[in-house]
Amino acid sequence: MNQTDQMNQLDAEIIAIGSELLIGGRSDSNSLFLADELGKLGIAVRFKSVVGDERQDIVTAIHTAVTRTQVVIMTGGLGPTVDDCTREAVADATGQRLGRRKEALEGLTARLAQWGRQPSKGQLRQALIPSGATVLKNPVGSAPGFCLIWKKALIVSLPGVPREMEEMMRQEVLPLLRADCESAKRPPQAPIVRLLFHTFGLAEAEVDVKLKGLIPKGAPVDLGLLASPMGVLVSLTTKGNRSAPAKNHKLLQALTDELRVRLSDWLFAEGRDTMEEVVGRELTKRGLMLAVAESCTGGLIGHRLTQVAGSSAYVDRGAVCYSNRAKTEMLGVPMDLIAKQGAVSREVAAAMACGIRERAHVSVGLSVTGIAGPGGGTETKPVGLVYIGLDDGTGRPITEEHRFHGDRNVIKQRSSQAALDLLRRWLLGRPSGTGETCGKSATR
């Protein structure tokens, strides 16, 4: 691998292979992992290409990639079926011969033997490696990977399965790249640092206004905003090659301090932290047990809370009261209250929160009732009208009114986030309902 010494500043391209990927519709976790890990070495992912299972198209993608980046990470197309032709495409693209490699075959056979199986004809193809390439062991699955230098670029071919790709990057590829980056012949590259700040309750344009002028002119940091039903994600990313690590660190610290002040209570989490983790930690810290009563969210809040390992320490139960009868039977919401105020009302939200808290004998009850649509809306109670309730047994339940826009799924997502955010603010003892743009108002 000493040929990599010839390269200078390193940038990367990811080539994801698979006709299914070309069509999209699925979340791509591989890029997230690769951007993070390569970023630590100061290698920026500048391009990502997706191609189908057509051999010639993969060749084209490789030829394009090596002209514009020095590290090319290919994922996918290493399986045993005829569709899988990354091996052949790399051989074609680089003019190498494909041959069965002993160490690849041994790894493959050993793995299958562990599973009590013999390699099939298709699986034997997985031991074909372009000549001159280094075999990369797969510690998790059967398909070996490989890497080679061509036209001064390092071309790495890994399986597309996230768990296999990640382990092979960690155990085989990153050590190689690290050694190369640390070699004396290369100028040091500052790691690319990416800090995340999660907000809820502000529109993207409002966050934009709040952050105006945050980044000093010419500072080697990019500010990014990304809106979703879960809120607006703010990111600070250092420009790897154009900055010095020590200066970066100080700058990021100053920017983080300033961001926290500007985003104030709307900032609910940083980094990879999630709303449900934040809420779980605060409940644990205070030794509180939670119970949830959901109508329009249908179980989503319970699902999210229990995504956190160990959540049984603070989540006692949830009631999904889709029918009015269920609201009465499970939570004791009076039938006549529902008849008078409607199931979607501030009063019913309060009664639901109180009902679940009492029946579960816990410290806090959280509730949601609303109209997720597309049907069921009226002039006075339109689709997107959602009430949230929180009861802590003091006899003064908190309620919030929200008016969300979007389809059924978006309204459910936003409702669950608003409910957890109310709980978060309550846990932190902070006032609720200030500055919301979605028509929220709070009563106590």
Residues 101-130 that bind a copy of itself (CB under 8 A): none
Residue 409-438 contact track with a copy of itself, rule CB under 8 A, x = bound: x--x--------------------------
Site membership for a copy of itself, residue 19 (CB under 8 A):
yes
**Could you tell me if 235 and 223 are in contact, meaning their C-beta atoms sit under 8 angstroms apart?**
yes
- Part of the chain binding a copy of itself (CB under 8 A), chosen from 87-95, 104-112, 224-232, 430-438: 224-232
Residues 315-334 touching a copy of itself, rule: CB under 8 A, are: 315-323, 325-326, 329-330
Closest to 77 in 3D by CA, of 66, 69, 88, 85: 85
Look at residue 373 and give its three-state secondary structure: coil
One character per residue 345-364, x = contact with a copy of itself (rule: CB under 8 A): --------------xx----
SS3 65: helix
Binding of a copy of itself by 344 (CB under 8 A): no
Asked if 27 interacts with a copy of itself (CB under 8 A), we say yes
DSSP β-bridge partners for residue 387 = 369, 401
User: Residues near 327 by Cβ (< 8 Å), separated by ≥ 6?
Assistant: 293, 295, 321, 333, 338, 343, 348, 352, 355
Q: How does strand 11-17 pair with strand 44-51?
A: parallel
Considering the complex, state which of residue 97 and residue 325 has its C-beta at the smaller distance from a copy of itself.
325
Select from 88-96, 100-108, 177-185, 407-415 the region that touches a copy of itself (CB under 8 A): 407-415
Binding-residue total with a copy of itself (CB under 8 A): 80
Stretch that binds a copy of itself, among 60-68, 99-107, 128-136, 389-397 (CB under 8 A): 60-68
What gap in Å lies between CA 219 and CA 242, rounded to an integer?
Answer: 10
Minimum CB separation of residue 128 from a copy of itself in Å reads: 19
Distance CA(305)–CA(431), nearest Å, equals: 23
x-or-dash string of contact with a copy of itself, 179-208, rule CB under 8 A: ---------------x-------------x
DSSP type of residue 143: -
**Interaction between residue 241 and a copy of itself (CB under 8 A):** no
CA distance readout (Å), 282 to 220, 246, 257, 274, 390: 35, 33, 22, 13, 16
Q: Report the residue from 73, 177, 259, 292 that binds a copy of itself according to the rule CB under 8 A.
A: 292
